[in-house]
Structure formats: C-alpha cells, structure tokens
Amino acid sequence: PEIRREDYKPFPWLVPETRLDFDLGLDSTRVRSRLTVVHNEKSPRSSTIRLNGDGLTPTSVKVDGEVSRAYVMDGDDLILTLDDNAHEIAIETEIDPSANSQLMGLYASSGMLCTQCEAEGFRRITFFPDRPDVLSTYTVKMSGPKALFPILLCNGNKVAEGEDGENHWAEWHDPWPKPSYLFALVAGDLVARTDRFTTMNGREVELNVYVRDGDLERTEHAMESLKRSMKWDEEVFGREYDLDLFNIVAVSDFNMGAMENKGLNVFNTKYVLADPETATDGDYDGVEGVIGHEYFHNWSGNRITCRDWFQLSLKEGFTVLRDQLFSQDMGSEPVKRIEDVRVLRGVQFPEDSGPLAHPIRPDSYREISNFYTSTVYNKGAEVIRMMKTMAGDEAFRKGTDTYFDRHDGEAATCEDFVKSIEDGAGLDLTQFRLWYSQAGTPKVTVELAHEGDEAVLTLTQTVPDTPGQTDKKPMPIPLKIALFDRTSGKHSGEELIVLDKASDTFRFGGFAEKPVLSINRSFSAPVTIQRDIAGEDLVFLAAKDDDPFARYEAMQDLMVGHLVPAAKGELSDETREAGRKDIVGALKAVIEDESLDDLMRGELLSMPSQTYISEQIEAADPGRIFEEREALKAHIGSALKDELHRLYERAEKVPYSMSAEAKGARKLKTLILVYAAASDPQKAAELAAHQYDHADNMTDRQGALMVLTGIDSAERTGKLIDFYNRYEGNALVIDKWFSLQAMSLHPQVIEHVKALADHEDFTMKNPNRVRSLYMAFAANPHGFHAASGEGYRMIADLILELDPINAQTAARFVPALGRWRKMEPARSALMREQLERIAAAPKLSRDTFEQVTRSLG
C-alpha cells in the first residue's frame, strides 16, 4: 500500500516513558519492554493502540500488570484495546540477531551485536509506535555474557552496572526524549580511543571511538574530526553538545554510511578507520565529512526531529549542507564545492530526470528506505544553500537560530523550517517553497545581447515534467553572475540576480563592448544552464574567471561542448581539430598558471565523466561516448606530453603529508597517469608500476593500480597480486581491490567481475563487499553498458540473489537499470528486459518491488 503525505494524523497516544530490558545473545536475545502510554490531547480519543512489529511474535503481553487477551495481530502489527487514558504496556519478544541479514533492527556483526533503527528497524526489536513523532524517554538495561560482550553501550549515560556470575549488565538512561529510530545499543569485544572536549559553556564531554582490537591506531583522524566538528558547530551555528558522553562505534556490516543515534553514533568502518598506508585522501575526506554529518544531526535531527518520513530532507538536506560547509572550512572551499556539485550532477541530476524522480519532500512512498536518495540529501542541501545565498550569511544564521529556538524538542516539518528561515532571516519564501514540491532539474536558457552600451541578459526557465507532475510553475532561481571586460580581463563586481518568472531580462550599463558572461558562479542554483557561448569565451573564462567554480565550469563546458557533438557524430574534421586546439590551449594555460594550487589545478585538468556527458544526450550510445572520451584523453595526453611530464616530476618531489600542497601533488600524479594511459599505454604502465612500488601511501598506490588495471600488461597482474597479498585480511583495502578491477577499462572487465564474484573473499552478506564489486561495476559504462547486454543481466542477477538477503542494498542497484529510457534503442530494450525479469520474480521485497515498478513506469 502507498503511504501519502497528506494522510498524516498525530498518533492517538503519547509514550512518555520506555523501559527496555535486553538479555543479549548472538542467536537469541530476549527483549522485555514496558511502555507508559497516555492519551494524546492532540488526537481524538482512541480505544486501541497500534504497535508496529516486523517479523515478531509476542511471548507475553500485559496491560497494567495483567496478562492481556485483548490484543490482535494485524499483519505484523499488534493492536491492543485500552479502555482508559493511561496505561502501562509490557511486552516480551525474542529475536535471533545472527539470522538478521537485512542489517535492520538488532543484528550480529563479526561477533558483536549492534542496531540500526532508522527508518523502521526498531519494530524488528520490539512492538512499538515506530514513527518519528512519538518521543519517549528511554531507560535500558542490557545484560549478557561478559566474555562475549565485555562492552555494553546504549544511548545517553550509564547509570548503573553490575555482575551476575558469567553475565554482567549495564543500565543506561537517555534524558532527551527521542523517537524510536534514534535508539541504539552495542555489545561486543571492543577497544576505544578516548579523548575529551570542553563545550563553549564548560561542559566536559568524554569522547570514545570504539573499534575492534587492532584497529585503534587507525582512529586518530576520526577523533580529530569529531573534535573539530564539535568546535565548528559551536562557532558557526551556535550549537553545543548536550550530554556528558559521546560514543562512536565502527561496525563492518552496515547498510549505509553511519547513523546519528543519540549519544551513540554507529558507523560503517569505512567512515572511521584511516591511516596513510590504507586510506586515500578521498577516504580521509569521507571520514571527516561523515563524522561531521552524524555529529551535526545531534541538533538537526535529534533535538529537532521529523514529524513523519516525508519530512526526511528537514534533517538530511540541512545536515548535508552543514557537513559540506564544515568540510569547506576545514579544507579547500572551491574544491569541496566542485566535488559536491560533481556528486549532485553525477547522481541527483540523473535521478531527477528519470523514472524515480521525486521532490525533496516526497508525496508518497511504499518503502521509506527507498527515499534515502541523492534528491532528499544533496538536492535538499542545495535548496537550503540557496536560502543562505539569498539571505546572506548573517541573516541565514538568524534564520537557523529561530528554527532551533522555536522547534527544539519537537518533531517538525519542512514547512516549520522554511517559516523559521523566512521569519528569522527576513526573506519572503512564498514562491520559493515550490522547490519542496516540484521535482525535476530546472533548465535555464541564457542569451546575452549587446545594445548600445548595455549588456542585455535574457533568462528563460523551464521545469521538466516528471512522473506524476506536469505543467510546473516557475521557481525562484538565484544566480550569481559577473560580466567580464574582454580587454582588461576584469569585472566590476559579482551580482546576485533572482530569476523568478518563466522569462526575464536584466540590463547592465557601461559596456562599450560586449562582455563575457560568467553565470551560476559557485553553482548558486541546482539547475542546468544552456548558454549560447562562443568557444573563445569559454577559453577566456577557463583562463581568467576569478570564481574557481565558474572557471572549472568553463573548462568542463569546453570539453562537453566538444564531446557531445562528437559522440552524436556531428563533428566535421575541421571542427574536431578546432575544438581540440581550444581544449589543449586552455589546459596548457591551467598547467602553467602559477596562481593555482595543485588541488584546484587537478580539478581544472579533469575531464567530464561519461555519465555527465551522456546526461546531455538523448538516446545516448555509451560505446560512442566512451570512444570519443578516450580519444580526447589520448589527444590531450600526447599534445601535452612534455608539460604533463614536467608536472609529474615536480609533484613526485613533494613528500607525503596531509597538507593541501601534498594532497594536490598526489591528485596530479594519478591524473597524469590517466592521460598517459590513454596516449601511451606501455609508458604509462611503466610509470604506474614505478609509482606503485615507491608509494608510501594509499593514494599513490591505489591511483597507480587503478591505471594499471586498465592496461593489458605484465605489470597489471603482478601488482594486483601484490596488492592482494599486501593487504589480505584488511577488509576495507580488499574492497578497493575488488572495486579497482570492477571499474577498470580492461576489455575483459565482465569476465573479471564474474571471476571475482566466485572469489573466496566475496560474500553477499557484507554490503561494503557487495558494493565494492557491483556498484563499481554498475558505474563502469564500459562494463555495465556492454553492447551484449551481459552487464545488465549481471546486475539483474545480483538484485535477484541479494533481495532475500538484504533488500535495502539490493534495491539500490535498480536505478542503474532504470536509466533505460535515456539509452539508444538496442540497450534500452535490453535494460528494460532485465527490469521485467526482476518484476516477474515470485517473491520480491517491498524495497525492490517499488523501485522496479517505478522504473518500468
């Protein structure tokens, strides 16, 4: 059944107190719950209470101490009759954590027990009103064998503990009322890195990062990131931590990145463990970003939570924005902005233009897990970022202060957030609210004319139709622009214009000559820009724009403007030559520009991804795009051979450190190998093997191996074997080993992936491992889009095999096949055929069923 946003009703009961008692065991855990329930004044009086369950059988049900026969099961839910306004409900259940392969609820992960309750996992532990608007104060007693579970953790503070023969127990109390999705417990044999943080008002907080024995040395970066997050949230958003203890636990079997459970964040090991030998610079950034993200949820998510799951972007969009701003402040602001836009365009734009498009605040769903999407998260962040851009930093802060003051302790809505920003920042967001209800990426068409001494800018917007939504209204689109004087190469100041009509004209005086337009600077709005701009103007902006993002964009546009017509077979030999000349000239200028740091230089030298190019083409032929992209890469590699070589030699001299300079040097080295691999594979193999052998860090080693996996050479096999032997037993690094081979440009990549699926280290039970092989493969256009359709069949087989084991993870592979409408006819039919094959399977999870039906449209 479909759940609709407009059907929201408050729950008829409040649950002021929840007591849970766990007898922990890997194969059998007994859960006794005691809930105090009282009639909710905001709802009509009800004589029953619905307690959600998922696969549970109650072993005892009592109301006010008496065994109750007045309950019925309605599907998985338990419904009790209650005749008064206040009661105590006591229920016992028994669960088997080791049989829980869905990794939702209470499950076992390499000998320890942990939980994941968001969104609807708590109902797999005990019967409860498992919805985010029911807030309760939790007291939890956990007991279990001391030898197996020396560490017992839960939300809040430990208030008592004791021993009982072979068993021991701990009682935890969380003073902050919370919804069930924020509940967590962990029991296992863990060790901690411990530190302290003193908050702005002098609260002494104990910090722990719990990992398995042997991983402790790799937790320093996580701990430092946590302390930086705590400080940053005080300084930038005025938010202080509110308990005396903050625990992080790393687990190796986890469906997502991490989870913000109150006072007890549970993390995928991927976002905790890092050291130079085993983690790349990208991995380091990932740890910092996710640690920040989960910590920031303490206010945007926990202190103020969501009324219902349609409001998910209230906490996720806002928290993603907060983690992005945090990472911008910790490292390079423009490079972080470029990375975030790349994710948005690479994942969210395709989602928004496909069968799974939905507004950042969806209107309906069958399975909420399917709505933890790039749209809710990343577009959600962009929408709030636009408010910040329109308000300015100071007024925006007043808006967020208003939000936190007004709604602290509540389960709020996106509307509450917008209203708070509106009132606090002094903006009128009436029309802006359309960004919450309309799906689809707006397209802005740009025309610049020159009349007398005026530059005349005409902007037109269209919001494309998406499933269930047509005839959309124009939205306010804030665009930062600058008009450059061609002769001086300067502009007289950036301006913010807001396009809020279908079409509008803006005039700028004082231009004797037609200026060069720089638009959507710093990516001020999540839209696509269609600009009619001469190649020479793009070359100008790529060399001179003082907004780093706009400069990057000009460089990308220059290459996309060449590759799109090339892939469509629309380039004459002459235009191809001219286009290549422009691109090479612009890249050369970037190599030689001494004002650039290498991190930014690396961005400017990067080619647009295959996905991004294919998004610009109707009925795209991945094979053609791939060929053209490789051909341009090879051309650049040989045309700039000497320049790139000198750059490599310079970068090679920079010793390992986490400074921006050293990170930039590492980024350049691998990028240069990528170009070399296209233009002179044998030379590149030698260079890459050398980089591999001499690497004193994972960034260099992985980069070299990545390049080698695509070149048929003796070095390829040797280094792959070496890498495996070197890191055998380190799951996160072995994941890289799987990924590198699945992402490779090697002609036999399909055979390689099939063989890897039979490798003894491969398992369907571990989501990181599954993703390392198959997500990497599904993102490899060269493998996934093989003309035979074999890649599509492999992903469909995977979905069918994984669905009964881990539905959430299985469903995440469906969108790759859902792109069928965008492909050339032959591939389109092959993709659709696989979706139909999945749809016809006898027993599909709700997760996969919903994604497949929506994808077929």
What is the Cα–Cα distance from 322 to 385, expressed in whole angstroms? 10
Fill in the DSSP letter of residue 771.
I
Q: Could you give the string, one character per residue 642-681, with x where binding to Zn ion holds by CB under 5 A and - elsewhere?
A: ----------------------------------------
Please state at what angle helix 312-330 crosses helix 333-343, rounded to 10 degrees: 140
Q: How far is CA 433 from CA 520, 620, 660, in A?
A: 21, 34, 39
What totals of helices (H) and strands (E) does the chain contain, helices first? 31, 31
Please state at what angle helix 622-639 crosses helix 573-592, rounded to 10 degrees: 50
Neighbours of 469 (CB within 10 A): 17
Nearest approach, Cβ of residue 294 and ligand ARG (Å): 6
State how beta strands 77-81 and 167-178 pair.
unpaired
Which residues touch 555 (CB under 8 Å, ≥6 apart)?
538, 542, 586, 587, 590, 604
Instruction: Work out which of 259, 386, 459, 852 binds ligand ARG, going by CB under 6 A.
Output: 259
Q: Could you give the string, one character per residue 788-817, with x where binding to ligand ARG holds by CB under 6 A and - elsewhere?
A: --------------------x---------
What is the Cα–Cα distance from 189 to 148, expressed in whole angstroms? 7
318 neighbors 380 (Cβ within 8 angstroms)? yes
Instruction: Work out which of 294, 339, 537, 582 binds ligand ARG, going by CB under 6 A.
Output: 294
Which is nearer to ligand ARG, 258 or 425 (by Cβ)? 258
Torsion angle of the four alpha carbons 528, 532, 536, 537, in this order, in degrees rounded to the nearest 10: -60
Nearest approach, Cβ of residue 112 and Zn ion (Å): 23
Which is nearer to Zn ion, 21 or 288 (by Cβ)? 288
Q: Could you give the string, one character per residue 117-136, with x where binding to ligand ARG holds by CB under 6 A and - elsewhere?
A: -xx-----------------
Tell me which stretch binds ligand ARG (CB under 6 A): 256-264, 280-288, 344-352, 814-822.
256-264
User: Which residues inside 311-350 make contact with ligand ARG, applying CB under 6 A?
Assistant: 316
Q: Could you give the string, one character per residue 689-708, with x where binding to ligand ARG holds by CB under 6 A and - elsewhere?
A: --------------------
Nearest approach, Cβ of residue 833 and ligand ARG (Å): 29
With binding defined as CB under 6 A, does residue 255 bind ligand ARG? yes
Nearest approach, Cβ of residue 118 and Zn ion (Å): 9
With binding defined as CB under 6 A, does residue 369 bind ligand ARG? yes
With binding defined as CB under 6 A, does residue 372 bind ligand ARG? yes
User: Which residues inside 46-85 make contact with ligand ARG, applying CB under 6 A?
Assistant: none
Catalytic residue flag (residue 294): yes
Instruction: Work out which of 63, 91, 134, 258 binds ligand ARG, going by CB under 6 A.
Output: 258
Fill in the DSSP letter of residue 647.
H
Tell me which stretch binds Zn ion (CB under 5 A): 163-171, 319-327, 530-538, 604-612.
319-327
With binding defined as CB under 6 A, does residue 257 bind ligand ARG? yes
Tell me which stretch binds ligand ARG (CB under 6 A): 61-69, 116-124, 206-214, 768-776.
116-124
Decide which of ligand ARG, Zn ion, none touches 178; Cβ closer than 5 to 8 Å per partner kind.
none
Q: Which one of the listed residues 120, 260, 294, 553 is annotated catalytic?
A: 294
Burial of 575 (0-12, 13-18, 19+ CB in 10 A): middle
Per rule CB under 5 A, count of chain residues that contact Zn ion: 2
Which is nearer to ligand ARG, 121 or 276 (by Cβ)? 121
Nearest approach, Cβ of residue 257 and ligand ARG (Å): 6
Give the DSSP H or E segment for 66. Answer: strand 66-67
Which is nearer to ligand ARG, 384 or 640 (by Cβ)? 384
Nearest approach, Cβ of residue 674 and ligand ARG (Å): 32
DSSP states along 75-90: TTEEEEE--SSEEEEE
State how beta strands 29-39 and 86-95 pair.
antiparallel
Nearest approach, Cβ of residue 117 and ligand ARG (Å): 9
Nearest approach, Cβ of residue 501 and ligand ARG (Å): 36
SS3 content of the chain, % helix, strand, coil (to 5): 45, 25, 30
Nearest approach, Cβ of residue 256 and ligand ARG (Å): 5
What is the Cα–Cα distance from 467 to 472, expressed in whole angstroms? 12
369-403: b (≥16 Cβ within 10 Å) or e: bbbbbbbbbbbbbbbbbbbbbbbeeebbbbbbbbb
Q: Could you give the string, one character per residue 248-277, with x where binding to Zn ion holds by CB under 5 A and - elsewhere?
A: ------------------------------
DSSP states along 685-698: HHHHHHHHHH-SSH
Q: Which two tokens stand for residue 159?
A: 């208030």
Which is nearer to ligand ARG, 293 or 716 (by Cβ)? 293
Burial of 108 (0-12, 13-18, 19+ CB in 10 A): buried
Neighbours of 342 (CB within 10 A): 17
Q: Tell me if residue 452 falls in helix, strand or coil.
A: coil
With binding defined as CB under 6 A, does residue 260 bind ligand ARG? yes
Nearest to 663 by CA among 675, 677, 651: 651
Decide which of ligand ARG, Zn ion, none touches 557; Cβ closer than 5 to 8 Å per partner kind.
none
User: Which residues inside 589-628 make contact with Zn ion, applying CB under 5 A?
Assistant: none
Q: How many residues does the chain have?
A: 857
Phi, psi (rounded to 5 degrees) for 836: -65, -35
Nearest approach, Cβ of residue 260 and ligand ARG (Å): 6
Per rule CB under 6 A, count of chain residues that contact ligand ARG: 15
Nearest approach, Cβ of residue 225 and ligand ARG (Å): 15
Give 446's strand partners. 459, 531
Decide which of ligand ARG, Zn ion, none touches 118; Cβ closer than 5 to 8 Å per partner kind.
ligand ARG
Decide which of ligand ARG, Zn ion, none touches 257; Cβ closer than 5 to 8 Å per partner kind.
ligand ARG
Decide which of ligand ARG, Zn ion, none touches 419; Cβ closer than 5 to 8 Å per partner kind.
none
Which is nearer to ligand ARG, 116 or 611 (by Cβ)? 116
The catalytic site residues sit at 294
Binding site for Zn ion (CB under 5 A): 316, 319
Binding site for ligand ARG (CB under 6 A): 116, 118-119, 255-260, 293-294, 316, 369, 372, 808
